[in-house]
């Protein structure tokens, strides 16, 4: 599972492992963190078997790859090292035949970000991917996913996440073979990076801030609270985003006392 901090990929791995356990299977969930920050790329792994799972290392040649982030879904690295005829389930707002991923793989897509925003009000895509996973792969049943979700998210929060699961179960596309069979030579390691290493976190964004200069009073509250030093000041005493440093966390918009900052969704 490829995702970013805050999207719930690690929790999703635990939910799948729990769902498999509820069906009488053996399962194991393994998270792997790089830069432990909201928005930073991370990977989580799940093993499921009918016999006891005794391995304790990372999954190096998976049969299925899930990508929780629409920008990461454009990178060939999410399909690296898959077994022949492996399956790649992408959070992407386009049909699987539009994907440029290459290899002896099959691709399915679901717009998990839109589903999450509709059902949860936030771009936390983990449960919006789980229904698609259940439908597309058949590895675990929808009912088992829902039962596991209730263990992790009780009450109303659980109901909201189950709504996301059911909607993605309905919306996921069929599998389509990758149109490109040979992967490009230049590939990106999703486990390396982050502000302070590559000096660029712009690809972490699902939303980006837009300043209404007419409403802005120049109080610099956004600058004070920004966790990434991603704002600078223009000559007219108005803020401007430093593109490479902004990860789209939305703190500036939340703290602005006059609501002069609007978060807009990144278009893929």
pLDDT band at 180 (very low <50, low <70, confident <90, very high): confident
Q: Are residues 163 and 207 both part of a single domain? A: no
CA geometry: angle 84, 141, 117, nearest 5 deg: 90
Q: Are residues 24 and 153 both part of a single domain? A: yes
Q: Are residues 219 and 172 both part of a single domain? A: no
- Whether residue 185 is contained in a domain is answered as no
Q: Are residues 211 and 80 both part of a single domain? A: no
- Whether residue 187 is contained in a domain is answered as no
Q: Are residues 172 and 206 both part of a single domain? A: no
**Ramachandran region, residue 241 (left: φ > 0; alpha: ψ -120 to 50; beta: rest):** beta
Q: Are residues 103 and 226 both part of a single domain? A: no
Distance set, CA 89 to CA 31, 64, 108 (Å): 19, 8, 5
- The contacts of residue 195 (CB under 8 Å, 6+ apart) are 201, 228, 245, 247
* Domain that residue 100 falls in: 2-177
Q: Are residues 90 and 142 both part of a single domain? A: yes
- Whether residue 186 is contained in a domain is answered as no
Structure tokens at 74: 């454009």
- CATH code of the domain covering residue 73: 3.40.920.10
Q: Are residues 166 and 213 both part of a single domain? A: no
Residue with tokens 């599972």: 1
Q: Are residues 151 and 213 both part of a single domain? A: no
3-state secondary structure of 268: coil
Structure tokens at 75: 């990178």
- CATH code of the domain covering residue 252: 3.30.70.20
- Whether residue 182 is contained in a domain is answered as no
DSSP assignment letter at 26 = E
Q: Are residues 120 and 242 both part of a single domain? A: no
Distance CA 110, CA 63 (A): 19
pLDDT at residue 35 in the model: 59
For the packed helices 142-152 and 126-137, what is the interaxial angle rounded to 10 degrees? 160
Q: Mean of the pLDDT values across residues 77-90?
A: 93
As a whole number, the mean pLDDT across the chain is 88
- Whether residue 194 is contained in a domain is answered as no
111-156 pLDDT tens trace = 999 999 999 998 899 999 999 999 999 999 999 999 999 999 989 9
- Whether residue 82 is contained in a domain is answered as yes
23-65 pLDDT tens trace = 999 999 998 866 566 777 888 999 999 999 888 788 999 999 9
Whole-model pTM above 0.85? no
- Whether residue 105 is contained in a domain is answered as yes
Residue with tokens 């009918």: 50
pLDDT at residue 142 in the model: 96
Q: Are residues 37 and 131 both part of a single domain? A: yes
Q: Are residues 82 and 154 both part of a single domain? A: yes
Domain count, the chain: 2
**Ramachandran region, residue 7 (left: φ > 0; alpha: ψ -120 to 50; beta: rest):** alpha
Q: Mean of the pLDDT values across residues 209-216?
A: 93
194: pLDDT strictly greater than 90? no
- Whether residue 195 is contained in a domain is answered as no
């Amino acid at each position: 599972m490829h995702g970013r901090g805050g999207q719930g990929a690690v929790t999703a791995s635990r939910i799948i492992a729990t769902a498999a356990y509820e069906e009488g299977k053996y399962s194991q969930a393994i998270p792997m963190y790089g830069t432990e920050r909201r928005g930073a790329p991370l990977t989580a792994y799940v093993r499921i078997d009918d016999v006891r799972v005794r391995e304790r290392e990372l999954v190096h040649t998976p049969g299925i790859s899930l990508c929780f982030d629409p920008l990461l879904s454009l990178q060939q690295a999410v399909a690296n090292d898959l077994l022949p005829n492996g399956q790649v389930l992408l959070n992407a707002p386009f049909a699987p035949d539009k994907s440029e991923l290459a290899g002896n793989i099959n691709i399915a897509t679901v717009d998990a970000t839109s589903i999450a925003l509709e059902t949860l009000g936030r771009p936390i895509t983990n449960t919006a991917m789980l229904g698609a996973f259940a439908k597309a792969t058949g590895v675990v049943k929808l009912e088992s996913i829902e039962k596991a979700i209730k263990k992790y998210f009780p009450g109303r929060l659980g109901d909201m996440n189950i709504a996301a699961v059911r909607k993605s179960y309905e919306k996921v596309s069929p599998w389509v073979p990758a149109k490109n069979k040979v992967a490009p030579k230049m590939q990106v390691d999703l486990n390396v990076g982050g502000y302070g290493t590559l000096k660029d976190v712009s690809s972490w964004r699902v939303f980006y801030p837009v300043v209404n200069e007419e409403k802005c009073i120049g109080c610099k509250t956004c600058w004070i609270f920004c966790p990434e030093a991603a704002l600078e000041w223009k000559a007219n005493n108005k803020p401007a985003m430093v593109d490479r440093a902004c990860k789209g966390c939305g703190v500036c918009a939340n703290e602005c006392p006059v609501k002069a900052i609007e978060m807009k969704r990144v278009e893929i």
